[in-house]
């Protein structure tokens, strides 16, 4: 179980952010299954223990009955043999239940260890971020290029940008599921545009539309835009 989990996590390190999110969901599903199995094994252990206690009581009672019959002259050999046969059956049942109880107890311990491992991985594993990073963008009409540097905190987006033509400033917005809304606040023009986009399933591209919020600048008032995630440099890679 542990080896398979380690392999799963190493494989997940190479996945895109959205795929890594799916990996975390898979770990949570494994955790839920292990908890259900633990509950079922624990119930079986309780029931087996109850049956074992009853069987051991029968062994004790049967042993006393054999000893009593052996010491009494009014009880014949056939009756003593019958009681001994009954005792052997009780002992066999008890041995079977003892082995069953041991297997269940070992399984409960192993399930608890697996659950602890899965919980620890979820607690220490930093959730992958589908948006944070540098994005090369292209605005149409005009094929104006630039870079968005974005960070994501929950659903809140913040960042900075530079565009051809000497434009720069800050970005603010939200990401809900795969729907992105970013407001552009230019260092000279102020609140100048709103970008609406959709994050691709692989977390590597964004496409959408934009609208200007300032007018009289002799520039287009709306259009389309796209963005491609830049691969981190060696200095940026953790």
Task: Quick: pLDDT tens for 132-149.
Answer: 999 999 999 989 999 999
Q: Is the dihedral of CA 67, 68, 70, 76 positive or negative?
A: negative
Angstrom distance (rounded) from CA 66 to CA 47: 29
Q: Which stretches of 125-208 are DSSP H helices?
A: none
Return the pLDDT at 14: 43
Angstrom distance (rounded) from CA 116 to CA 60: 40
Return the pLDDT at 12: 45
Return the pLDDT at 203: 87
- Average pLDDT for the chain: 86
- Please report which confidence band the pLDDT of residue 23 belongs to, taking 50, 70 and 90 as the band edges: low
Residue that the structure tokens 């599921």 belong to: 177
Residue that the structure tokens 């049942």 belong to: 93
pTM exceeds 0.75 for this model: no
The burial class, CB within 10 Å (0-12 / 13-18 / 19+), for 183 is middle
Return the pLDDT at 63: 95
- Please report which confidence band the pLDDT of residue 214 belongs to, taking 50, 70 and 90 as the band edges: confident
- Please report which confidence band the pLDDT of residue 127 belongs to, taking 50, 70 and 90 as the band edges: low
User: Which three-class secondary structure state does DSSP give residue 43?
Assistant: helix
């Amino acid at each position: 179980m542990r080896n398979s989990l380690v392999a799963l996590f190493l494989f997940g390190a190479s996945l895109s952010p959205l795929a890594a999110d799916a990996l975390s969901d898979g770990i949570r599903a494994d955790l839920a299954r292990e908890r259900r199995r633990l509950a079922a094994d624990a119930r079986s252990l309780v029931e087996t223990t109850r049956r074992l206690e009853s069987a051991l009581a029968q062994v004790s009672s049967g042993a006393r009955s054999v000893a009593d019959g052996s010491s009494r002259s009014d009880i014949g050999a056939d009756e003593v043999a019958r009681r001994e046969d009954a005792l052997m059956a009780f002992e066999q049942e008890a041995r079977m239940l003892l082995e069953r109880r041991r297997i269940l107890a070992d399984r409960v311990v192993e399930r608890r260890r697996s659950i602890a491992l899965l919980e620890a991985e979820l607690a220490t594993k930093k959730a992958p971020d589908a948006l944070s990073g540098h994005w090369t963008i292209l605005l149409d009409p005009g094929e104006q290029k630039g870079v968005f540097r974005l960070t994501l905190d929950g659903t809140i987006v913040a960042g900075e940008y530079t565009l051809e033509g000497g434009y720069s400033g800050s970005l603010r917005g939200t990401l809900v599921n795969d729907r992105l809304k970013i407001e552009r606040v230019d260092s000279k023009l102020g609140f100048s545009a709103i970008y609406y986009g959709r994050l691709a399933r692989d977390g590597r591209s964004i496409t959408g539309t934009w609208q200007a919020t300032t007018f009289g600048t002799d520039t287009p008032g709306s259009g389309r835009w796209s963005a491609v995630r830049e691969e981190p440099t060696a200095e940026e890679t953790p």
